[in-house]
Amino acid sequence: MAKQKSPTNDALLAKVKSRLKGLQENTKRVSGTWKPTGEHVVRLLPYKFADYPFIELYFHYDLTKENLLSPISNNNPDPIVEYADKIKEEGTRESYLLSRKLTPTMRTYVPVLIRDEEALGVRFWGIGKRTYEEILLIMNDPDYGWIIDPHTGTDLKVIFTPPEEAGNKYGKISVNPKRNTSPLADSDELIDKYLNEQKNIGEIYKEKTYDELKEALLAWLESDDKEEEKPTKDTPPSEETKAEEKEVVKKANDAFDKFFDKDKK
């Protein structure tokens, strides 16, 4: 009997990489969100907690180590937005850039079921403006219509192109509807399960209090990481530029103190 050939180190390392990737992706799934990593077939679902399935949330990015959900997502006051609106009234280029940096960015979430991954249940897919518009254009086409219907809807083919191939920082996502309609699942029992066993998006992205956001804003204003565009090594900032930057920071902090009256007892 011939001796069984042992796998090579390269083959074993390839298996290690594959398993590591799987474990890392499984870790991400715990949060209840999903993002494409290649080519997928995706079914959009109705959202259990609202009539409209697309959940538009607003986030403050890059102010802290975590992304901060803006309370305006839930029609609540946001001190960072209030401050951004106030300083924009100054009408200077610096105040405009600072205001823009502090204005939250919309990201839309929709419940999805990933074909061949149904065992992982319903997750939320976070999409940017362009992908959101692509999906809405498909739904606005009378040939497709309400593709989210659990009985007569349509799956989407979603392809993610990585940054190195797409030639940009974030990669590219393309979305195309499948040719034929199909039910969400093979039985009414399974359909009901997917429709009802959904998390509320608020369990995943929790809103900070007004005071917590004020503290985050003040900490960011007092840090050194606020510049929209930092000089390159070939063009170090001049002394004049440094002085201007210090003045902008001082004005921003003074405006914060005045606007929020933080010393008021």
pLDDT band at 21 (very low <50, low <70, confident <90, very high): low
What kind of architecture, by CATH, is found in domain 31-225?
Alpha-Beta Complex (3.90)
CA distance 211 to 214: 5
Q: What is the pLDDT of residues 76-88, one digit of tens each?
A: 999 999 999 999 9
CA distance 262 to 246: 21
CA distance 156 to 146: 12
Q: Are 123 and 25 in contact (CB under 8 A)?
A: no
- What percentage of the chain carries pLDDT values higher than 70? 73
pLDDT band at 223 (very low <50, low <70, confident <90, very high): confident
How many C-beta atoms lie closer than 10 Å to residue 108's C-beta? 20
Q: What is the DSSP string of 63-79?
A: SSSSPEEPGGGGT---H
Q: What is the DSSP string of 19-30?
A: HHHHHHHHHHHT
CA distance 7 to 206: 48
Q: What is the pLDDT of residues 40-67, one digit of tens each?
A: 999 999 999 999 999 999 999 999 999 9
What is the domain partition of the chain in residue ranges?
31-225
Helices within 60-156 (DSSP H only): 79-88, 93-102, 129-140
Residue 227 C-alpha from the chain's centroid: 22
Average pLDDT of span 98-105: 94
Phi/psi for 56 (5° steps) reads -90, 110
How many C-beta atoms lie closer than 10 Å to residue 228's C-beta? 9
How many C-beta atoms lie closer than 10 Å to residue 226's C-beta? 19
Q: Are 60 and 104 in contact (CB under 8 A)?
A: yes
Query: pLDDT value at position 233?
Result: 38
Q: Which of 134, 131, 110, 119 is nearest to 34 (CA)?
A: 110
- Find the helix or strand (DSSP H, E) in which 239 lies: helix 239-260
CA distance 99 to 259: 14
CA distance 214 to 135: 36
**Token output for 148:** 């989210």
Mean pLDDT of the chain: 84
Give the global pTM.
Answer: 0.75
CA distance 127 to 104: 15
